[in-house]
Structure 1
Amino acid sequence: MPLRTLLATLTAGLAAATTTLAAAGPVHADSPQDNACSSSVSIQRYSDALDKTTYEGTFVGNFSGLAVDRDGSLLAVSDRSSLFSLDPRTLQPRGVVPLATETGAALDSEGLAVDRDGSRLVTSETEPSVRRYDREGRVLGSLPVPDALKVAPAGRATANQTFEGLTLLPGGRTLLASMEGALSGDSPGVVRFQTWRRHGGGKDFRLSTQYGYRADTGLGVVEVAGLPGGRLLVLERGFTAGVGNTVRLYAADTRRATDTSGVDVLTGQDGDRIRLLRKTLLADLVNCPTLGATAKQPQPNPLLDNIEGMVVTGQRQRHGGRLNVLLVSDDNQNAVQTTRCYALRVRVA
């Protein structure tokens, strides 16, 4: 289905989310001709309104994933086991629910997606896992995870390098989770994307195709967003002490990529035998205008921080079908990091 056609069918609430940051303060923006990060990406504005704030006694921050709820509000998951509902215009919290495992233990919640019935799908890096929650944060179940993707010694994954990103692909039948780092035995930088697919009108997802993706040297995959036609937005991020963050936005294509679910070792050098996801650089965010931003620690661009969450909030029909994309940084509840939201406009050819 064409991108224009599919995104035009999104709910009216989702359309409202395209105005995110419009009324949030403080908000900072340059004149339109000065906001290009690349030929495909421009930054419209940013906001630090949520930085080092609390809501109903809960710290607002540590954000690792974003999603648009069925009513158009924004959801932001904290890796400290909290799920916030945010006003799509002001970004101010409207609610928060705690998240936990089936036994009540805390989880390292990272990726977030909203299913068509309104339930929340949340990844945890610990095992890793994908759990389904209701609106009150009650666990409804969990999805199967391949043994190889589990943290050693149960599998071949490294702790804190597992399911960082999560997205429900257009149509709602396929769920995709992205590993942040490579499995033991795979080539460094070659990470796996796992999908689940549901059949018929049922709610349950079953394990499906797996893909290999090569991240840039020194970077990991921190978020994915599904687009029509088997395409993805992929957010890669890294950090160098004394230098700062590197954040790059790619378009990737699952079409013609090899199913790697039965491949033990991904070297990334198998040529036509194993085809990794093709990717195209959309922007290195170091090249964005600063918009007057300041950083609390060294950064190659003071606008940058520990960007970790991403969601597509809509499309501007009058601007070549450009996507409205919202990013958020994870401040790790650290005095030298910032909870910052970024409104981008992205063109995917």
Structure 2
Amino acid sequence: MNPVNPVTFVNPVTSTRLRTVLVTAVAGLAAATCLTAAAPANAHATAKNDHVCSPSVSIDRFSDALDKTTYDGTFVGNFSALAVDRDGSLAAVSDRSALFALDGRTLAPKAVVPLADESGAALDSEGLVVDRDGTRLISSETEPSVRRYSRDGRILDRLPVPDALKVTPAGRAQPNGTFEGLTLLPGGRTLLASMEYALAGDSAGIVRFQTWQRTGGGHGRHFELGRQYAYRTDAGLGVPEVRATPDGRLLVLERGFTAGVGNTVRLYLADPRHATDTSGIENLTGQDGARLVRKTLLADIVNCPSLGATAKQPQPNPLLDNIEGMAITGYSKGRLRVLLVSDDNQNAVQTTRFYHLRVRI
């Protein structure tokens, strides 16, 4: 939720690394790679040379086809996370307590189920992982929490959360600043959630990434608390989403909003593999000797071509909006197909927009 308002891809069946990063069945990814085979409604195309955002990122097209629409009586929007399902379709979570199934090619909604906590109260759902058994791991930034849901929205499990990461007064996190991103690392044994903003007592801009380790020999549904890492955002930005890459690194979205100016959205490649476990460090100052997660800028989305996009409020590039969800939909030889989505907050001056990117890592 906004706090203020050309590569040829191989068949994923041949790629072990692809199976590990996306964790779900090979068939699902084979279908998911076809997401960019045909442009959905409202997509725009220009000459290939006009699609470059940076040396590492290009944009194929965007789609506003779902903006301000409804499905089965439910508003289609408020999207905060995307994930590839095992059959190649997309799962999408709304921060207004709805879990959608979208067609992997056209993005058209196919089903929707309501989400709630154990007492039946609505969630501020932000992160989404489709586990290998088809169940959904969904984070809510209200408490914060990570729960496991069945495909029809029943709660099956709830993961432990360190006290310090809980919202004040139970912990040191600020409201609307907790678990935004959620991803499974290669192999499917480690789950990682990204906090959006720093804890009270930590230096501004240093956010924590919490992990859990799968118990039961790597095949069970249950997770126990694991290592924690520190990541420094650019000034004034938070982390709305994170996705694991095939080699154990992370795609990290950083985002901010300035009234009268618009959104800032940057895509980073981050490496947590040599970062310090910060779970035992009470206050992260940047001067405490802890090795932070290293990051490399892949693209500032403001530098992407607008491709004819229009904005309903001031933006430094009319293509930009409140981008919050991300899924890796294909992979081959260090190149990813990445799908982004914006959260329109059900706001007349914001747009539900999907972005089809090609990313070289």
1:313 deviates by 0.5
Runs (4+) of structure 1 moved beyond 6 Å?
none
Counterpart of 1:213?
231
Q: Percent identity?
A: 75
Paired positions, count: 341
Q: Which amino acid aligns with 1:237?
A: R
**Equivalent runs, 1:83-102 vs 2, <5 Å:** 83-102=99-118
**What pairs up with 1:90-129 in 2 under 5 angstroms?**
90-129=106-145
Deviation at 1:19, TM superposition (A): 2.9
Kept in 2, the 8 Å contact 1:11–1:72? The answer is no
Cα distance change of structure 1 residues 71 and 213 upon mapping to structure 2, 3 Å threshold:
same
Q: 1:19 aligns with which of 25, 34, 40?
A: 34
Matched, 1:164 2:175: no
Counterpart Cα distance in 2 of 1:111 and 1:281: 22
In 1: Cα distance, 2:269 partner to 2:63 partner: 25
TM-score, length basis structure 2: 0.92
- Unpaired segments of 5 or more residues in structure 1? none
Range with greater deviation from structure 2 (194-203 or 241-250): 194-203
CA contact (8 A) 2:31 2:87 kept: no
Residue by residue over 1:265-300, the C-alpha shift from the partner in whole angstroms, topping out at 9 and shown as x without a partner, is 001233xx2100000000000000010100000000
Counterpart pick for 2:344 among 320, 331, 340? 331
8 A contact 1:4–1:321 mirrored in 2: no
Instruction: Give the CA deviation at 1:20.
Output: 2.3
Where does residue 196 of structure 2 map in the other structure? Answer: 180
Q: Does 1:282 align with 2:287?
A: no
| Equivalent position of 2:210 in the other structure | 194
2:34 partner SS: coil
1: CA distance, partners of 2:174 / 2:228: 18
Match of 1:154 among 141, 158, 170: 170
Separation in 2, partners of 1:19, 1:30:
20
* 1:67 to 2:80 alignment: no
User: How far apart are the structure 2 equivalents of 1:174 and 1:90?
Assistant: 31
Structure 2 residue corresponding to 1:241, chosen from 220, 245, 259: 259
Deviations along 1:294-315, one digit per CA (max 9) or x if unpaired, are: 0000000000000000010112
- Name the counterpart of 1:265: 283
Residues 284 and 4 of structure 1, relative CA distance in 2, 3 Å threshold: farther
CA contact (8 A) 2:17 2:247 kept: no
Hey, what does 2:17 align to over in structure 1?
Answer: 6
Residue type of the partner of 1:299? Answer: Q
SS in 2 for 1:342: strand
Q: Deviations over 1:57-103 (max 9, x none)?
A: 00000000000111111011000000000001000000000000011
Q: Could you say what secondary structure the match of 1:137 adopts?
A: coil
Report the counterpart of residue 3 of structure 2 in structure 1: none
Out of 282, 285, 295, the residue aligned to residue 311 of structure 2 is 295
Residue ranges of structure 2 left out of the alignment (5+ in a row): 1-13
Instruction: Report the CA distance between 1:23 and its aligned residue.
Output: 3.8
Segment drifting more, 236-245 vs 221-230: 221-230
Q: In structure 1, what is the equivalent of residue 249 of structure 2?
A: 231
1:307 alignment partner, one of 305, 323, 334: 323
Q: For residues 125 and 150 of structure 1, what CA distance do their matches in structure 2 show?
A: 9
| CA displacement at 1:11 relative to structure 2 | 1.5
Alignment CA distance shift 1:4-1:188 (3 Å) = farther
**Deviation sequence 1:210-257 (CA, Å, 0-9, x none):** 000000001000000012333100000000000000000000001110
Question: 2 CA distance for matches of 1:340 and 1:148?
Answer: 35
DSSP 3-state at the match of 1:286? helix
